[in-house]
Homo-oligomer: A and B are copies of this chain.
């Protein structure tokens, strides 16, 4: 079993059917992935959960149960949301399942990565999508777009495990702690700060926020902000809030 996969976690958001959690655990275990996180599952584990887990009970027993997505991904540096391709998701960076496996295999030596799966019927909300750096879809026959959630977890776990297996040993990458990507929690702190700054500057009207913050999340999510860059951005926002603008030029 490849230890790199210990850096990959699966997040299930508000899963309705306890059986799906069992099937997902089994799917993960076949592929050597063990870290399952459940954001507000709708029902407690049932007999079906354990029957379908079928040997992957330990994954269910050790699954972390958290109230919401941000709590689930707080320690992750890269978050990939599973989503059907649709109008509302077109603006996020997209990958298909094959690309996702390759992307994950490249990141795991350095980063903690989360694969996030939404509700059985309705998927992820727009707000949840905003916590994702990228979206992955599993290409399907165009006239039929419903892959069972455990099946989707099986396919993506399989792609990640396959890509890790096929990957040649990676070259030594930077170990500079400043060049590590900021965690999801740090990014949330930044977004809160940015939003408040835009409100204070009257650039963002809280009564009519439009899509401003979503656009900013998309932009910075794509950029993959490092710890040191995060420090600069936070410092810059604090300086802007000082509002003591001393322009040197006479054009003011």
Contacts and interface: CB of A to CB of B under 8 A. Distances in A.
A44 interface: no
Interface in A101-143: 138-143
* Chain A interface bracket (under 10, 10 to 19, 20 to 34, 35 or more): 35 or more
A179 interface: yes
Given A54-B146, A151-B30, A219-B223, A243 B243 contact: no
A242 B243 contact: yes
A216 interface: yes
Contact of A29 (B27, B141, B215): B141
A64 interface: no
Interface in A24-45: 26-27, 29-32
Contacts of A139: 161-162, 165
Interface stretch (A7-15, A71-79, A184-192, A244-252): A244-252
Given A212-B232, A229-B219, A245-B241, A141 B31 contact: yes
Contact of A55 (B146, B197, B201, B244): B146
Contacts of A223: 219-220, 222-223
Nearest to A141: B32
Interface of A: 1, 23, 26-27, 29-32, 54-56, 91, 97-98, 138-148, 150-151, 154-155, 158, 161-162, 165-166, 179, 197-203, 212, 215-216, 218-220, 222-225, 228-229, 232-233, 235-236, 239-248
